[in-house]
Chain A
Amino acid sequence: MNTSPSVKEISGVEITKAILVNLQKLSSYSGEPMAAVYADNLLRTMRLLRDKLSLDPLTEVVMALHDALVCSNRWIDYTSTQYQGAYDLLASLIAQEIITNLEVESAILTLEDLGFDTLPFGVKLDDSLDRDEDSE
């Protein structure tokens, strides 16, 4: 029985379609109570993609958006225009057969340009860390 590659591919397509649907809905309902439902669906679907297709280049882009949305519930603050931008970006990537590393990088930078903070985790480091010794 022929196995995983084709099965995973179809499954990935379905998951990514679900991500797009939820992003579109989030764009439409941004700022309204219904947005919470679509945000929850979107984040769950993104994590499903992470679990099913962890090595797929698209997952890197989706995870960048996931982290930007989920940390401190920042999905509430993003606007309809930003969600539409994310939708357009992901839709264009999904339409491609192959996504190169350069395209992944470009997509993450586009998310940043759209205003999504893809490094949302606050870390406070000491300045002394800059000059740590080689010999320990």
Chain B
Amino acid sequence: MEDKPIQEHFLDTSVARSFLLGTQTYKQYFESQFGNQPLYIANYVQMEIKRSYLINLISFYFVLHLETINNIGDAIALWSNRFKTSELKAILQLIPQLFSTHQLNFGSDQDKEKALCILAIYIKRFELIQRRKFNKTKIDSTACARAIVTLNIDLKNPAG
């Protein structure tokens, strides 16, 4: 019996992003397809994930951090007024799930600090996993200058 060759997969943005952010069923489907086979993404794909999701989370963190924002509900209200549909959509899907999981009260002033902590931890974790879950091809055929711009998060100086 011949050994089955190891298959490698190059993921485009829609698959890589769904691999990280899909529903449980969706993720299980990908795992059934890919198993432990090596997965690759290009810098360009990584950049797209950051620009379409991670940056919105960081922006929302700063909105929630504003002194004039008293609670999570205020931050969502302001965000809803300031941003266009796509940015709104990303946040409105994540925030209720994340903060409800942590049993936070959206109208409570006291829970604002907890929310900031939880969101910061989630942002760091998402950045880590999107950076380390996939292998890099090191080939960017698009030669897009944006793809090599690094995104640094300094939690000690978030306004910096």
Contacts and interface: CB of A to CB of B under 8 A. Distances in A.
Interface stretch (A6-14, A32-40, A56-64): A56-64
Interface string B63-107: 000000000000000000000101001100110011001110000
Interface in A67-104: 67, 70-72, 74
A126 to B, nearest CB: 6
B135 interface: no
Contacts of B9: none
A21 to B, nearest CB: 22
Contact of A50 (B22, B26, B52, B102): B102
Contacts, number: 95
Contacts of A118: 125, 129
Contacts of A130: 13, 48, 51-52
Main secondary structure of the interface of B (DSSP, over half): helix
Contacts of A108: 125, 128-129
Nearest to A67: B101
Please tell me the size bucket of the interface on A.
35 or more
B148 interface: no
A64 B122 CA distance: 8
B102 A47 contact: yes
Interface of A: 47, 50-51, 54-55, 59-60, 63-64, 66-67, 70-72, 74, 105, 108-109, 112, 117-130, 132, 136
5 contacts: A67-B98, A70-B101, A74-B24, A105-B132, A108-B125
Interface of B: 13-14, 17, 20-24, 26-27, 48, 51-53, 84, 86, 89-90, 93-94, 97-98, 101-103, 113-114, 117-118, 121-122, 124-126, 128-129, 132-133
